[in-house]
Each structure stands twice: as C-alpha cells, then as structure tokens.
Amino acid sequence: MAENTSPQGPGQALPARGAQPAAPPQVQLFEFALGFWRSRALVVAAELEIVDQLTGGPLHVDEIAARVNAHAPSLFRLLRALETAGVFKQVSPRVFANTPVSELLRKDVPGSHSAILRMSFTPGEGEFDAWMGLLGGVQTGKTAFEQVRGCTFWEFLRRNPKQGALFDESMRAVGEGVTPVVAGAYDWSRFPVIADIGGGVGTQLLEILKAHPSCRGILFDRADVVARAIPHDRIERVGGSFFERVPAADAYILRRVIHDWPDAESIAILKAIRAAANPGARVIVIERVVDDAPENAAGKWMDLLMMVVAGGKERTADDFRELFEKAGFELEQIVSMPAPMKLIVARTRG
C-alpha cells in the first residue's frame, strides 16, 4: 500500500527509516500510461529487428533507418524514448548501441523475450487482442478473447499457424530458465514412467530424463504437436486429447496446463489422469500459487491474463486442494523452487 506523502497527521504511520517515499498519486497513475507506451515502443523495436542491426556495434540512426526501412527522425524519437528505460544507449549524438536489455529482443539468444513481447503487445498476434475485451469480460464473466475474436484462443492458434508458431516460441522462452530448476527440484528417479501431459515438444521431459537415466518418459500432446517433438530413445510420443484419455504412468507432469482452463475443464483433465494412473501415482502441477499478500503482484496479474485470454485462472493452495479432491486425488505437498512457479504434488486416493 502506498505511503501518504503529505505531512503526517495524528495516527498516520511514518515511512520506514531509509524507505523511499511513495510517488504522488498522479505520478503513480501516469506510470500506468507509461507502461503501455513503453511496451508498444519496445515491441515496435523488436518487430523492426533493430537490435540485430546493432550486434556489430553502434550505428547512426540514419544507417539503422536505412537498414530497417524506417523514417530516420521518427526512429530517433523512438530510440531516444526507449533509452530512458535502459533499452539501447546513445553513445554519441544520434548513434545508438545495444544494452543487456535490448539484447533480449534478439530471437536467437538464451532468455529471448522477442516472441513473448510480440505475442503480448502486437495487435492481431493473440494475447493483445484479448485485453481489448477486458471490460466486457468483467461485466459478463465471459472470456474476453472469445468476445473479441469469436473463437477460443486455442482455436485461433489452430486457424493461424503463424500465430501458433509464435505462441510455441514464446512458451519455450518462458520456460527456458525454469526447465532445469524443475528437473532438480524433485526426486523424479522414484517414478519408472513419467508422462508429460500437454508437454509440447518435450523440453521439460528431456531435462528430467537426462538427470535420471533410470526413468522412461511419455510425451502426450496433440498429434500435430508431438509430431514435432525432440526425438529421444526413452520417450514415447502419444497424440490425443487430455480431456478424453491419457496413457498409464507413475507420475504425471502438468506444466502451465491447468491454469489455462476453468475449474470444470481442469477437473476433467485430472479425472482422465486418475482413470489411467498406475497405483500410487503422483500428479505434479507446475504453476504459480497465489496468496493474499498484496505485494505478491505477479501471480495476480497472470491470473488476469488467464482470465482475458483463455478463461483460465491462477490458483491458491486451497483451490488446488479442491480441484484434486474432486478428481480423486489429495494434495500431498507444495515444493518451492528458485523460480516463480512451484511443484504442486498430489497423490491418488483410494
């Protein structure tokens, strides 16, 4: 909660020693507008691939404009504004260079945010459109994306291969830093067969099997997705719908899957797993766990994103407990990791 920056009256708390006083409310509200402007400017820089032109060193804005087919005076104003946020650096008048922040706009570097930003802030690419329906979503409870586009987000990706590929690329980038953390955060070796449900091309499962040579894996996703999966001699690729039937296994990974769906669909996924699970099997959901602390903002904004794009939600520990119970599981433990997400582990009941 923001501190009051006016002179303190009786009963008002003083700021903590050494704490920076909060900005005036007008400034705080202006920061919301700045956030949107910065995001759009950043994405335009990514779409123009300016960072790639600067990999060999600083360039004058006229040269950059010629290479990316832009209007030099307008491009200068864009880069000058982005410099105030640490994106690009003007090393001499109208000569710009990359910074560690702008480097992450490249497509081919570890931790690249190029696909994530384009998916989030480019009209027509997917997620950006959903925010245009936020008011209607809040008023009706219906998924904003469907109101704007007339179909589900997943159907939109199926109909538009270009956007589907961009989404796949953004998901790989999102998970890049988390994948090795998940592999080392849990004792996977006690499960002879591990099924990654909705596991994409298999990056997470590969990392787990690399760390645990005694395990075998099953990669389960749509047939067109597993057809593109990374080959591995201990991974069986199975295509299908996780609402209907999944393979038998000793452990099931659901990484960033459950949060895509409302409760009814999430329970249906878990029930399909319960019907196929070997005795004593575990379900390991890899997602954020939301709590009520106001300073824990990221999970709550991700929850809003899920609401407008896919109709899903980020969940509390009690939410997960209830989902598991309705599907025939019980919450066993929540494992913290040096990452925003946690391992929410459930075991079969009965």
DSSP 8-state class, residue 291:
-
Q: Which of 226, 341, 207 is nearest to 284 (CA)?
A: 341
Q: pTM (2 decimals)? A: 0.85
Q: Which of 143, 169, 138, 173 is nearest to 155 (CA)?
A: 143
Rounded Cα gap, residues 296 and 273, in angstroms:
31
Judge if 27-103 and 177-348 fold alike in CATH terms. no
Q: Which residues are catalytic?
A: 259
Q: Average pLDDT of the chain? A: 90
pLDDT top residue among 282 and 5: 282
Q: Does the pLDDT at position 213 exceed 90?
A: yes
Q: Does the pLDDT at position 17 exceed 70?
A: no
For 177-348, give the CATH class: alpha beta
Query: What is the structure's pLDDT at 2?
Result: 28
By DSSP bridging, strand 342-348 and strand 282-287 are antiparallel
Q: Does the pLDDT at position 204 exceed 70?
A: yes
Q: What are the residue boundaries of the structural domains of the chain, listed by start? A: 27-103, 114-173, 177-348
Q: Which of 279, 135, 107, 268 is nearest to 193 (CA)?
A: 279
Over residues 308-348, the pLDDT tens digits come to 999 999 999 999 999 999 999 999 999 999 888 999 999 99
Over residues 185-202, the pLDDT tens digits come to 999 999 999 999 999 889
CATH number among 3.40.50.300, 1.10.580.10, 3.20.20.70, 1.10.10.10, domain 27-103: 1.10.10.10
Cβ density class 63-82: b for 16+ within 10 Å, e for less: ebbeeeebeeeebbebbebb
Over residues 95-153, the pLDDT tens digits come to 999 999 999 999 888 888 898 899 899 998 889 989 999 999 999 999 999 999 999 99
Query: What is the structure's pLDDT at 18?
Result: 53
Type and span of the H or E element at 23: none
